[in-house]
Structure 1
Amino acid sequence: MDLSFSPEEQAFRDEVRDFLKSELPARLSDKVRTGKHLDKAEIEEWQAILSRKGWLAPHWPKEYGGQGWSVVQRYLYDIETSQAHAPHVVPFGLSMLAPVLIAFGSQEQKDHWLPRMLNGDDWWCQGYSEPGAGSDLANVRTAAIRDGDEYVVNGQKTWTTLGQHANMMFCLVRTDTDGPRQQGISFLLVDMEAPGVEVRPIITLDGGHEVNEVFFTDVRVPAENLVGEEGRGWTYAKYLLTYERTSMAAIGSSKAGLAWLKSIARAEMANGKPLIEDALFAARLARVEIELANLETTTLRVVASAAQGGAPGAESSILKIKGSEIRQEISSLARRAIGPYAQPFPPEIDVEGSNEPAIGPDYAGVITPNYLNLRKLTIFGGSNEIQKNIISKAVLGL
């Protein structure tokens, strides 16, 4: 298997680098590099820049307004944007719902929703997890009862990322309580501004408002917002999760995080010399760098297979497990690197215009909040324990 990039792919990588140098605002990349949160306007600003370039959804087929990029181009683009500290594009509509609509949606749904995603008319969120139905997603209880040309939805979703900004949700709902649990689930598009929808913030351990609870009380959803067939939502959900988990290898994000960690270790001192020269710390740093190099090779093998027409199966679970563990270890080593400055982390450090004095070096304030926030990586998108069960079934036949 040839894992090297062709001259055409190298030229594409250069094009991406030139675009980022000329178009990525420094104030946005600085915030991403230092681990600070972007507000809604900043995220939309970057997405508008990509939209003008035609790169907001380059992985889409050309017939739907994308660039039809190959899997190799998408891989190179993700690496370069992460290492340039570009803001992440909100994935829920463009990278998660869109593939489902393209594969399973009606022509009317494609014609209506896909252009709106490219134009930035809609902000989507994901309605999967519920209390008691996180990793056990087949246990969803939010009910959708057909009433003429509408569904009446009642229930609750939780951990809804950026739901406070969203005007639309793609949602797993239970339309049938008979038979196997998976067969009674449907995939529904819900207007977040409809009567009966209530969004409540969940403030996480790092002090941020990233996730929410969403409650539905007699919410009426047009039946035309059902994606595909009633009762086949489980199939569509699994299709979507394959896309989500494969991207969770996050090679570019880990490389950028590792580079930042090394710069911190060069600046911090231990026993009269830079921390990066400390034998124990250097060994831990080397271990995570080796694991990242191995993960990158595995990812390239998956990319090369996909370029030949293959589809990721259990490999997506492997990438999700190792990718999330590596990012967590990088954040853990960053906390160790700053020593006592890892303890205080005033939330005001991430507030634009705050006049709170920094505690320790200017890079120290965001490290503990980031460490706490990244504990979620081994849970969302299917917990790592569930991914190991998938691997044991699909690969080992257990």
Structure 2
Amino acid sequence: MTTTVATSATDASPVSASGVDGRRALRRGRTVVLWVVALVVGGALIAVAAGSPPPEDYLHPDGTGQSGTRALVEVLREQGVDVDVVSTAQEAVDAAGDGRGATVVVGNSDLLTDSAGRRLLEGTRRADRVVLLDGAPGMLDALGLGLTLGVPAKEPAAADCSLPWVEGGDRVSRLSWSVVPSAAARASGARGCFPTGSAGPDLPAGFAAVELPATSDHTVVTVLGIPDAATNRFVTEADHAGLVVRLLGGSPHLVWYHPDYEDAAANPPTTDDSVWPESVGPGLVVLALAFVAFALARGRRLGRLVPEPLPVVVRAAETTESRAELYRAAADRHRAAAVLRRASAARLATRVGLPPTASVDALAPAVADAAGVPAVDVDLLLQGGVPADDAGLVTLAQQLAHLEEKVRTS
């Protein structure tokens, strides 16, 4: 036999309008704050991404952006220097070995593998000079030139050297690396320009530029720690323009070798150094932050249920019967009894002139006086134990309805 429990449409204790409005305002405020934070973080990430050019664009001879070197290349061409742009080590070797005096410059050494670097040095021994605009620490170690890159201890001083492409009063800025020659390199004739001091009392001094003399393994090699000096943005700063033009324009033919990923694939590294581009790390960080933001947005804690108008008209009796069926199917007599008592308490409080949220302890005496029954009986009905079975639940509903009827007719 199916027992239907009659309940009121009121399922929860009434909440004041001001309380509901306050919670809604608080939720709206939190939403606005979250959107503002998301916009700020997104804008910051976009700004970082926009301000950091891809590694393959840095020091590119055709680049017209701030990190490119198109301005320098055009000046060299105006000075009569024949500039060839290549992207592989073999092309650089072929271009430099055509019988003309040539300077070979490597743009972004971060994309130069150790095997490509060795091929370049071996194939350009007849060239006038090889210039590394931007030395990469791992690549220099692999080539065995006796040079290391470190953090500069101070801004570079005056030139303090007698190389043909450096004048005594030249000054540079935008120092990225301190090029440190080893004792063996110094003994073999390595010369440094623009001293940057020593990073420690027991460490050798570094320079903004170091030139190695020609040997049986390579031609003259110049390594710079001021790669930004050649960029469109900073080439006109300090004495960068004259210095770099004299360095790269010392030969009638300039081979600008700018490695790319295809060159790295054709000349795989022989060390354990990764050939992943530098942008992979920041890209993974951005993806991780985006995933965390998405998880927080989708996994946010849900607020209280908000009543909404139904799309169709449903009779109150049908809703009551459906809810009663759910309680019965779940055997949730505790919940059903609490709903019945809470709804009756709210209606009784209104009838005796008390607020709907009045406690049972304050409500029971007033209801007892109005209905003419003992206060202990009212208290037992409104906050007694849980009915043991469905029959007891039906009895409780009938007793509450009878009590309400007494208060109404009293």
The TM-score with structure 1 as length reference comes to: 0.20
Structure whose CA Rg is larger = 2
Structure (1 or 2) with the greater helix fraction: 1
Q: Which has the higher contact order (CA 8 A, sep 6+)?
A: 2
TM-score, normalised relative to structure 2: 0.19
